[in-house]
């Protein structure tokens, strides 16, 4: 049984989360294929799905919703995370002159209603503000998020790509606790280990979600000299331990005491199964530093 991470007294998520940013990039865009991926997740105790209103220009929530509506017992076996506040430009929005963020009450509530409709569900387990908005009125945004939780449409709220000061500002205007921050962390993006982001959340006691935990696939790019060194280190360790490289790269995140929850993004069911093995692999401290040294390109000082 895969470990779970508690977000509040009523809600927990699986230790590994499945992200749907790339759902519409799969060659097979049928709802049957989505159900296949979801069932693969569930068979491996991965129960939490990460979405956003903008993934696939809205098509990802829609395709996911189609899968949920065709397989009636799926929704209640899953926790759904979605995000809001990025306003994309495009043919659907001819009036938008620039890409922007919007954390106003009207915009957040409108997006939540639209996400609920697209995903054909009547509640979202966890709503995240996708990016810090320089024009955020923390009182208005905080009140709106609290109201959404009180209404039952959203079971918990959190943030993504927030710095500690963004987090503190928003939290200061809220009754409910922000549950988690979803940021970029991987062997190819190690800033959070030293820039205070992980330390801040570790002290607060809230788990941190890691997006692109395999560097969005760049870890496997043999042409990049930095990745090449990392790749050799990770592939040697993987071979010694008899596991896939992705298992090593993910377990490297999971070992951290801040309770990092990786959000994987593969469209390949076989790779989902492999990734789930990372939760049980416990790297030792020396292996962790061997990978860290390869990741930063030098031994630690
Ligand atoms: N909050 C934010 O701002 C934010 C930003 C970005 C992403 N996210 C979330 O994070 C999730 C994961 O992001 P991600 O998709 O970049 O994660 P990722 O797991 O780091 O990368 C997935 C990519 O790597 C490839 N890949 C995986 N294993 C591989 C292997 N063994 N060999 C070669 N290629 C491999 C996958 O290709 P295949 O499909 O062919 O396996 C896919 O293209 C997203 O779905 C989204 O939910 C959030």
CATH label of the domain that carries residue 80:
3.20.20.100
Residue 55 annotated as catalytic? yes
264 occurs within a structural domain: no
Those residues whose C-beta lies under 8 Å from the C-beta of residue 160, and which sit 6 or more positions away, are 83, 128, 129, 130, 131, 181, 182, 183, 209, 211
Regarding the beta carbon of 220 and ligand 1, being less than 6 Å apart is answered yes
* Residue 186 clears pLDDT 90, i.e. is over it: yes
The pLDDT score that the predictor gives to residue 169 is: 98
Residue span of the structural domain in which 145 resides: 4-179
Atom of ligand 1 nearest to the CA of 186: 20
Query: Would you say 191 and 160 are in contact if contact means Cβ atoms under 8 Å apart?
Result: no
Q: How far is the CA of 292 from the centre of ligand 1 (A)?
A: 20
Considering just the CA atoms, what is the radius of gyration of the chain in Å?
Answer: 19
For residues 205 and 187, give the distance between their C-alpha atoms in angstroms, rounded to a whole number.
23
The pLDDT score that the predictor gives to residue 184 is: 98
Our count of domains for the chain comes to 1
The pLDDT score that the predictor gives to residue 72 is: 85
The string of pLDDT tens digits covering residues 193-227 is: 999 999 999 999 999 999 999 999 999 887 877 77
> Best mutation site among 22, 52, 275 for ligand 1, i.e. most ligand atoms within 8 A of its Cβ?
22
The pLDDT score that the predictor gives to residue 11 is: 96
206 occurs within a structural domain: no
Name the closest-CA residue to atom 42, ligand 1: 266
Q: Mean pLDDT, to the nearest integer, of 235-244?
A: 97
Q: How far is the CA of 52 from the centre of ligand 1 (A)?
A: 14
231 occurs within a structural domain: no
The pLDDT score that the predictor gives to residue 153 is: 98
List, in sequence order, the alpha helices (H) in 44-190. Answer: 59-70, 105-119, 138-151, 164-171
The string of pLDDT tens digits covering residues 46-93 is: 999 999 999 999 999 999 999 999 998 999 999 999 999 999 998 889
Give me 29's structure tokens. Answer: 């865009």
Tell whether the torsion through CA atoms of 175, 176, 179 and 182 is positive or negative.
Answer: negative
Give me 105's structure tokens. Answer: 């009450």
The pLDDT score that the predictor gives to residue 113 is: 98
The pLDDT score that the predictor gives to residue 79 is: 98
Name the closest-CA residue to atom 15, ligand 1: 265
pLDDT band for 229, please (50, 70, 90 cuts): confident
Average pLDDT, the chain: 96
35 occurs within a structural domain: yes
Regarding the beta carbon of 151 and ligand 1, being less than 6 Å apart is answered no
For residues 227 and 238, give the distance between their C-alpha atoms in angstroms, rounded to a whole number.
15
For residues 97 and 291, give the distance between their C-alpha atoms in angstroms, rounded to a whole number.
44
Q: How far is the CA of 146 from the centre of ligand 1 (A)?
A: 31
Asked which of 21-25, 35-39, 229-233 is least confident by mean pLDDT, the reply is 229-233
HSE value, Cβ hemisphere, 13 Å, CA-based, for 144: 23
Stated length of the chain: 301
pLDDT band for 27, please (50, 70, 90 cuts): very high
80 occurs within a structural domain: yes
Task: Assign residue 88 a region (left: φ > 0; alpha: ψ between -120 and 50; beta: otherwise).
Answer: beta
Whether pTM exceeds 0.95: yes
The pLDDT score that the predictor gives to residue 221 is: 84
Residue, of 35 and 222, whose pLDDT is higher = 35
* Residue 265 clears pLDDT 90, i.e. is over it: yes
152 occurs within a structural domain: yes
The string of pLDDT tens digits covering residues 106-129 is: 999 999 999 999 999 999 999 999
Q: How far is the CA of 212 from the centre of ligand 1 (A)?
A: 5
Atom of ligand 1 nearest to the CA of 214: 20
The pLDDT score that the predictor gives to residue 146 is: 98
Q: Is 45 exposed, middle or buried (0-12, 13-18, 19+ CB in 10 A)?
A: middle
49 occurs within a structural domain: yes
Least Cα distance to 132 among 94, 100, 106, 107 occurs for 100
Regarding the beta carbon of 221 and ligand 1, being less than 6 Å apart is answered no
Regarding the beta carbon of 246 and ligand 1, being less than 6 Å apart is answered yes
159 occurs within a structural domain: yes
* Residue 143 clears pLDDT 80, i.e. is over it: yes
Regarding the beta carbon of 212 and ligand 1, being less than 6 Å apart is answered yes
Name the closest-CA residue to atom 21, ligand 1: 216
């Amino acid at each position: 049984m895969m470990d779970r991470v508690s977000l509040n007294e009523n809600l927990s998520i699986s230790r590994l989360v499945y992200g749907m940013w790339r759902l519409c990039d799969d060659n097979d865009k049928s709802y049957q294929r989505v159900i296949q991926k979801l069932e693969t997740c569930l068979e491996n105790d991965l129960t939490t799905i990460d979405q956003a209103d903008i993934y696939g220009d809205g098509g990802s929530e829609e395709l996911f919703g189609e899968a949920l509506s065709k397989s009636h017992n799926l929704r209640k076996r899953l926790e759904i995370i979605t995000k809001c506040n990025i306003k994309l430009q495009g043919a659907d929005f001819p009036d938008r002159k620039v890409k922007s963020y919007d954390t106003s009450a009207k915009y957040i509530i409108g997006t939540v209603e639209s996400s609920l409709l697209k995903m054909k569900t009547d509640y979202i387990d966890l709503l995240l503000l996708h990016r810090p908005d320089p024009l955020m009125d923390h009182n208005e945004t905080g009140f709106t998020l609290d109201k959404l939780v009180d209404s039952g449409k959203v079971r918990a709220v959190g943030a993504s790509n927030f710095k500690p000061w963004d987090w503190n500002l928003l939290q200061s205007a809220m009754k409910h606790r922000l549950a988690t921050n979803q940021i970029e962390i991987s062997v190819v993006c190690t800033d959070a280990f030293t820039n205070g982001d992980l330390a801040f959340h570790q002290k607060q006691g809230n788990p941190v979600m890691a997006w692109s935990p395999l560097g969005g696939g760049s870890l496997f790019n043999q042409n990049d000299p930095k990745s090449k060194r990392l790749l050799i280190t990770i592939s040697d360790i993987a071979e010694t331990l008899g596991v896939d490289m992705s298992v090593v790269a993910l377990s490297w995140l999971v070992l951290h005491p801040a309770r990092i929850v990786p959000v994987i993004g593969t469209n390949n069911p076989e790779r989902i199964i492999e990734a789930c093995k990372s939760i049980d692999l416990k790297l030792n401290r020396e292996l962790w530093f061997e990978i860290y040294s390869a990741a930063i390109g030098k031994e630690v000082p």
